[in-house]
Amino acid sequence: MNIHHVVSFLSCINCLYVGYGYVYTGLMTTLLEFSTLPLNYRSMMTLTEINSPVGNANSYLFFVLYTIFRVILLPFIAWKHWKTVVSVWPYLNDTRKFSGTIGIIQLAALTIMSYYWYYGLLKVLGKMLGLIDKKSKEEDLMPWRKIGE
């Protein structure tokens, strides 16, 4: 978790240094953190609370917010970022181009990770709804549940 905060802080500094539309896309990516609010609340719950109606509502809220802010918003951010790169690249000096390249790599990595985790969330949701067969009864559908226990 600490590495996440360091990388996020450095990417903010990176976007500010490059300037132009990088600042806009950097600020837009902070909206992705809205999806972590229910996840952080879940980590404070006991196992009994997780299985309660409030815990289920929290899980559904997490799924909805993740879908809105990470799955739907990320392609828009990538598109705006690409428009920025195409329009300002010739005007950047070498150090800003280097920082801009790092920003592109960070956004690509963020997108790949977000869609990978969304795929996992869809599998868990499918198993919970009975759309996907469970391989065994001992299979833990939510491995992050151990956090905070």
Closest to 144 (Cα-Cα) out of 47, 60, 76, 34: 47
136 pLDDT above the threshold of 70? no
Q: What is the pLDDT of residues 68-112, one digit of tens each?
A: 999 999 999 989 999 988 999 999 999 999 998 998 888 888 889
Averaged pLDDT for residues 6-32: 85
**Least confident among 14-18, 127-131, 138-142:** 138-142
- Radius of gyration of the chain, Cα coordinates, nearest whole angstrom: 19
Give me the residue spans of the domains in the chain.
Answer: 2-132
Copy the structure tokens of residue 60: 């559904």
124's CB contacts (< 8 A; 6+ apart) are: 141, 142
Q: Give pLDDT, residue 119.
A: 93
Q: What is the pLDDT of residues 28-53, one digit of tens each?
A: 888 888 888 998 898 898 888 888 99
What is the average pLDDT score of the chain? Answer: 84
Residue 105 C-alpha from the chain's centroid: 15
